Structure 1
Amino acid sequence: MKQGFFFILFFYLTITATIFADESLVITPEMHHLRISGEREWSTFPETPQADELLLSFQAKLNSTESTLLLRQVDVKLSWNVELNKKVLGKLSRDGNDLQFWFSVPPGVLKNGKNQLRIFQVGKPTPDDIRVGEISLFPEPVQQALAASQLTIEVVDGLSGDLIPARITIVNSEGTLVATTAKSNQRQAVRSGVIYVSEGKTEFGLPAGQYTIYAGRGFEYGIDRREVNLKAGENQRLRFKIRREVDTIGYVSSDTHVHTLTHSGHGDCSIEERMITLAGEQIEFPIATDHNKQINYEPLAQKLNVRKYFTPVIGNEVTTRIGHFNIFPAQESAPVPDYKLKDWTAIFNSIFEKPLVKVAILNHARDLHSNYRPFGQKHHLSQAGENLDEWKLRANAMEIINSGATQTDVMQLYHDWFGALNRGLFLTPVGCSDSHDVTRYIVGQARTYIKTKDHDPSKIETGKTIQNFVDGKVLLSYGLLTQIKVNSQYGPGELVPSSSDLKVAITVSGPSWVSADEVCLYANGQLIRREQIRSKTEGGVKWQETWKLKRFLHDCHLVAIATGPGVTAPYWPLAKPYQPDSPEFEPLVVGSTGAVWIDADGDGQKTPAYEYADQLVNQHESDLSELLKSLEDYDLAVTMQAASLLRSRGVAPYDSKLNHLLQDSPRQVQNGFNIYKKAWRASQIARQEN
């Protein structure tokens, strides 16, 4: 074994067997834990792997025709080669799900006597805990090896009886997504254990055995489930009925971050497959956002007969070295924004000078790309929404839940957003999938519901819907839907007139296969009420209640957030964090509202915390004692903005006079300055380290 960071540890398992006609050879019946280097990714794995690669020896005979290698893999994130007798058959599927994956073995690769199978990570040695095993060889090509029995499936709407687009999920008794003979075509998109159907029907073969099959259609629909026991030579017909369970009248479902392998060059979902998955997950207003390209879904959606299910919008993920920004609508023939620019001023000028563009979304602000993290401590103070490089963020929306790049702490980006709102950046919150794949990351799993006319998904009023998005008239869904009405009338993106008290009605909805257990209400980013709830088991409204609030002393924004246990079932599993902060992770479903603004001061405007703080600092800048007294009538958000403004004017968070005066200030004022001081110190340490 080599010493140091890089080491090679071979794990040998020898099985003596021979392939006979129509019989499979089990190379290993076990699952093996592999990791090439570093500490474990997730606490669900042992601290020490069995090996850094898998090397298996077995006895076989020369294959004169194509054979099939079938294996099971779990939690594969990076690139792992599968090599038989030093010939690379392919790579494991880069997919975190528990699934079967097959490889074609060309004639002559197997040899008489001893053969060797090797599975090993390629590329830069990076920790990637995987499990792989249950490996078998079949003497036939895959279409024969997997076709012992046949299934014919139809999925219909439970009310109308009409065939509808759907996702069909097939697992074995272990809960593993199984390989089938189904192939992608112009009517279906196929991966191991998953078949998206645009016309509601499919037919395929699979080995004899016991299976559980699910049919669904994204967040708004229920799940139909069947247990089947297939015998060799049998052909079964199954009809699944699913119905809409979540009422979203007045809103359209949108995924603002959608990719294809065809145009982005990574992932595995072709543009043809993307049209089918959008219909199968019931995304009514998809935004095409391939990297630095402006792609029109319209012609292909028409050709594949799925245009009736959605209204597509041309967009672009402007992928720069200092942040990624989704823009829309875009003109297909127009020049793309200059993604090689090196500062935000130039980038946003290039974005908004392009024809039609109304929206610029700051994507995955906590993720590291090109060694730059927009909302990392080095560049950004989350608590005050303050850019430390003095760059102006001209985006008008921000991703809060990206189901393809989730955060370890689901609330992190919410707090970032609250800080931005308090700073005066009126950003529409966004839920999206960032999906490049058919099943690894489910398109539209996180989504944004935009207030608009929704009677016909093929005829959505694009201009009005986009304007409502810009105005913040949205709801975010990642397995739940949370709605809010203030004083029976005002919702997200709207301004509530001043009143003596407030009645805040909150409704949490979801399908029957999701539950909620907590609802929180935030004012200016501060938690003002939390309630543990018991949600109903049936699909539809899970919980609703009206809370009475006292009049606020100044303007603020209200946001309601519901959470519940994460979905782990194979028909809609939540992905693990893309860039985790910890090996510990608890998946959660989330439903949240956009911001409702309370016009407490009665001036008819949305006044953010920053403006109140700016007025107070200008009024009392020469008298710190008076400034601190004036802050007694304002909330924590205003106090933190005041601390930020003082720092920018030369009064450091550690100023001795300031801290002496704070000792006699109310607890709320002390807390605001202390939070800012702690955040400022952390940012300075981060900047020095980099």
Structure 2
Amino acid sequence: MCFSLEKGFAQKIILDPEMHHLRFGDSPEWADFSRESEGNRIEIPFVVKNSAGNKTLQIRQQDIKQTWQVKLNGNQLGNLDRDEKDKIIYLEIPSGLLNPGHNSIQIEQQGTVPDDIMVGHIVLDDRPLTEVLSEGTLHIEVYDKTSANLLPSIITVVNTEGALQTVGASSSDDLAVRPGVVYTGNGKASFGLPSGDFTIYATRGFEYGVDSLQLTIKPGDRIHKKLYINQEVPTEGWISSDTHIHTFTHSGHGDATMQERAITIAAEGIELPIMTDHNVHINIEPASWEMRVNAYFTPVIGNEVTTRFGHFNIFPVTEEAPIPEIKAENWDMLYRNMQKTVGQGIIILNHARDVHGGFRPFDQERHIGDAGVNLEGWEVPANAMEVINSGALQTDIMRLYKDWFGMLNRGYSITPIGASDSHDVNRYRVGQARTYIRSQSKDPGKIDVGEAIQNIREGKVMVNFSLLAEMVIDQQYESGDLAPNAGEINVAVRVLGPGWLDADTVSLYANGIKVREAIISGESESGTGIKWTGTWTLPKPAHDVFLVVIATGPGKPLPFWQIGKPYQPDSPLWKPKIMGSSGAVWIDADGDGLRTSAYEYALKLWKNTDGEIISFIEKLEPYDKAVAIQAASILMKEGFLGKLMNSEKPLHQASPAIKAGFHKYYKAWMLSEGIKENP
């Protein structure tokens, strides 16, 4: 049933006041959807008297992951916006498509990929789109509260129900615009809005606070407002980097042009952006000058080397450098190809738990994560790996951290990386996950790239996904350092984040094993941007270990910082979380000046026992679970583990840590064998 509303001289016909749950697929995509949907398409009949002239269709949408078409009388008007956010979109109806009398709107998916969506609140407006979105005009200026200077920033507009509100503006020399979001490169933005009540937010990435205002737009309004934000998170001595950034211009998917990407990088406060379009070397510096945001960041040319054996970001490279040959038979060959281009630079293993082209680098069939073991004998061709990818989140936010811990225990020198993998202006926002790199540079437009690259290689980083976790060992050693140790270990920790986000837990890991944990409450905050400070004391370990601190918190439903759902989920159950971590600090417990891994300890013990299994297990007694996992991997390679695990006697006297390590590895290996037998 339709009914009309008069607003001024324009008529709005509410075609459907309800929201509808549509599903393409047999079961709920997420647990918060009901088991029964209203079908895989919806058709809304309606009647109009005046069919002449251009008109506008208004639709509210939620959780759109695939391509859903909107048709009028069988003619395609456009698509719903591919974005999981709650938003109000508009489609213009060209003159001649409406029939005088009976009409119908159809909404249906274009493809066949399972997807649950909510859609509805459909309104037909008698006016063309430009008139609908220009009833009033809002001019916003965003200032740095400390310096009083205009600041590149993000303006978010929501209606009274919290849905992103499309504005009357398009991307330009100073703006990158998407429904409900305006990125400004110079701190100023003017845009139209329909009549109504709205909340306006001003933000600038992770480090800054938020300012907001509520206002009512009436026909003919011309409103000017100023908003003020301040850097809240202390990051002195660090530079922010997103090592995984794309453009539609050169990747062919997503929606961000080079010019829009330059503006979004500046507005999010990314100081060292790495451009990594697929199998090309792209320089965004000319676009940064064109959009007048070059003073806010130092761009680096990279390349997402996209192969049938995984995706790898390499940088820095020059525009003239040869594109690495992607036709390789294994990782060894691929590594040689990439190194020819990047030399002593950075090679990052991207989203190692995702499937691309039928291949998952860390698939259980070929990789045992807790041990860092590739069952096919391939060596990982990278010196860094993504532990958080905000555009391709894991259902278990710790999954890639566990893989990284396993790699370190295996003896790899691997730096943890946070990155966005953003191809879009706002669907998956650039810099929502990022990496903080130790740097002496003070000017974001003139960063010492060579120093930054060296510090990434040395692990002098922190990983950020809306929180930071700083760790200092014995008052002087930080991420990437090797700390000499003669006794107890003093571990000082700070958890950092803006006032609009919360942290709830901070944990300390030794060789990937949780050894300390603290609960964080609002009362724990000790200053602007500081969520928690604390100190732990650890006894001297029996052998070398690496320490990592990780802070986590709830993913709050903020319209200006919405977290995307997992890219390739392994469960319909998911709750958004945020996190941040230090890099690894190695403790040189044995005093040899080296970072000795769990695998190296296990291998040395095995060689010293001349193949005597019982003696080997006895000599493992002082060591931790991580060394035991590596010992089990060695016995598996030697052909002894299966028989050992089927006999209770050899492990009977072993410590709980040794038993747990052996059982963990064997269980993972058995699971891998089961997958091979039943793919």
Q: Could you state the TM-score of these two structures normalised by the residue count of structure 1? A: 0.96
1:220-619 equivalences under 5 Å are 220-356=207-343, 358-535=345-522, 536=524, 539-619=528-608
C-alpha RMSD of matched pairs (Å): 1.5
Provide the C-alpha distance between the structure 2 equivalents of 1:188 and 1:654, rounded to a whole number of angstroms.
66
Offset, 1:539: 3.4
Offset, 1:515: 1.1
For residue 683 of structure 1, give the secondary structure of its aligned residue in structure 2: helix
1:653 maps onto 2:654 in alignment: no
Provide the C-alpha distance between the structure 1 equivalents of 2:303 and 2:676, rounded to a whole number of angstroms.
32
- Greater shift, 648-657 or 328-337, is seen at 648-657
Provide the C-alpha distance between the structure 1 equivalents of 2:129 and 2:528, rounded to a whole number of angstroms.
40
CA contact (8 A) 1:447 1:477 kept: yes
Letter in 1 for 2:575: E
1:41 maps onto 2:29 in alignment: yes
In the other structure, the counterpart of 1:7 is: none
For the structure 1 residues 654 and 277, does the alpha-carbon distance in structure 2 shift closer, same or farther, using more than 3 Å as the test? farther
Match of 2:58 among 47, 67, 70: 70
Letter in 1 for 2:633: S
Offset, 1:688: 1.6
In the other structure, the counterpart of 2:158 is: 171
1:94 maps onto 2:91 in alignment: no
Letter in 2 for 1:269: A
Query: Deviation string for 1:358-417 (max 9, x for gaps)?
Result: 111000011111111111201100111000111111200000010001111111111110
For residue 215 of structure 1, give the secondary structure of its aligned residue in structure 2: strand
Offset, 1:229: 1.6
In the other structure, the counterpart of 1:128 is: 115
Match of 1:25 among 13, 18, 28: 13
Provide the C-alpha distance between the structure 1 equivalents of 2:4 and 2:590, rounded to a whole number of angstroms.
82
For residue 422 of structure 2, give the secondary structure of its aligned residue in structure 1: coil
Provide the C-alpha distance between the structure 1 equivalents of 2:202 and 2:642, rounded to a whole number of angstroms.
57
Offset, 1:311: 0.3
In the other structure, the counterpart of 1:214 is: 201
Query: Deviation string for 1:41-89 (max 9, x for gaps)?
Result: 1111111111210111100246432221111100000011111111111
Aligned length: 676
Provide the C-alpha distance between the structure 1 equivalents of 2:19 and 2:640, rounded to a whole number of angstroms.
61
Provide the C-alpha distance between the structure 2 equivalents of 1:557 and 1:685, rounded to a whole number of angstroms.
32
Provide the C-alpha distance between the structure 2 equivalents of 1:412 and 1:234, rounded to a whole number of angstroms.
51
Offset, 1:356: 4.9
Offset, 1:660: 2.5
1:629-640 equivalences under 5 Å are 629-640=618-629
In the other structure, the counterpart of 2:191 is: 204
For residue 407 of structure 1, give the secondary structure of its aligned residue in structure 2: coil
Query: Deviation string for 1:304-356 (max 9, x for gaps)?
Result: 11110000000000111111101100111122111232311111110001155
- Greater shift, 200-209 or 664-673, is seen at 664-673
Letter in 2 for 1:680: W
1:57 maps onto 2:34 in alignment: no
For the structure 1 residues 549 and 209, does the alpha-carbon distance in structure 2 shift closer, same or farther, using more than 3 Å as the test? same
Provide the C-alpha distance between the structure 2 equivalents of 1:352 and 1:412, rounded to a whole number of angstroms.
28
Offset, 1:652: 3.0
For the structure 1 residues 17 and 167, does the alpha-carbon distance in structure 2 shift closer, same or farther, using more than 3 Å as the test? closer
Letter in 1 for 2:177: V
1:152 maps onto 2:132 in alignment: no
Offset, 1:567: 2.7
For the structure 1 residues 216 and 651, does the alpha-carbon distance in structure 2 shift closer, same or farther, using more than 3 Å as the test? same
For residue 454 of structure 2, give the secondary structure of its aligned residue in structure 1: helix
CA contact (8 A) 1:146 1:205 kept: yes
Letter in 1 for 2:635: L
For the structure 1 residues 313 and 187, does the alpha-carbon distance in structure 2 shift closer, same or farther, using more than 3 Å as the test? same
Structure 2 gap ranges (5+): none
Match of 2:675 among 667, 678, 686: 686
In the other structure, the counterpart of 1:80 is: 68
For the structure 1 residues 181 and 528, does the alpha-carbon distance in structure 2 shift closer, same or farther, using more than 3 Å as the test? same
Provide the C-alpha distance between the structure 1 equivalents of 2:4 and 2:550, rounded to a whole number of angstroms.
58
Provide the C-alpha distance between the structure 2 equivalents of 1:356 and 1:341, rounded to a whole number of angstroms.
18
Query: Deviation string for 1:528-584 (max 9, x for gaps)?
Result: 011112145663111101111110110010000011111311011111111111111
Offset, 1:668: 1.8
Offset, 1:424: 0.6
Letter in 1 for 2:614: S
Provide the C-alpha distance between the structure 2 equivalents of 1:153 and 1:315, rounded to a whole number of angstroms.
35
In the other structure, the counterpart of 1:191 is: 178
CA contact (8 A) 1:35 1:127 kept: yes
Q: Percent identity?
A: 47
Provide the C-alpha distance between the structure 1 equivalents of 2:173 and 2:161, rounded to a whole number of angstroms.
31
Offset, 1:138: 1.7
CA contact (8 A) 1:401 1:478 kept: yes
Letter in 2 for 1:113: G
Q: Could you state the TM-score of these two structures normalised by the residue count of structure 2? A: 0.98
In the other structure, the counterpart of 2:630 is: 641
Provide the C-alpha distance between the structure 2 equivalents of 1:402 and 1:654, rounded to a whole number of angstroms.
40
In the other structure, the counterpart of 1:138 is: 125
In the other structure, the counterpart of 1:4 is: none
Offset, 1:621: 4.0
Letter in 2 for 1:662: L
For residue 286 of structure 1, give the secondary structure of its aligned residue in structure 2: strand
In the other structure, the counterpart of 1:6 is: none
For residue 354 of structure 1, give the secondary structure of its aligned residue in structure 2: helix
Query: Deviation string for 1:176-209 (max 9, x for gaps)?
Result: 0001101111100001110000010111111111
Letter in 2 for 1:616: L
For residue 506 of structure 1, give the secondary structure of its aligned residue in structure 2: strand
1:119 maps onto 2:111 in alignment: no
CA contact (8 A) 1:351 1:357 kept: no
In the other structure, the counterpart of 1:105 is: 93
Offset, 1:656: 6.0
In the other structure, the counterpart of 1:8 is: none
CA contact (8 A) 2:314 2:342 kept: no
CA contact (8 A) 1:222 1:512 kept: yes
CA contact (8 A) 1:328 1:357 kept: no
Structure 1 gap ranges (5+): 1-13
- Greater shift, 96-105 or 535-544, is seen at 535-544
Query: Deviation string for 1:491-536 (max 9, x for gaps)?
Result: 0000001221111000011101011111100000000011112145
For the structure 1 residues 648 and 633, does the alpha-carbon distance in structure 2 shift closer, same or farther, using more than 3 Å as the test? same
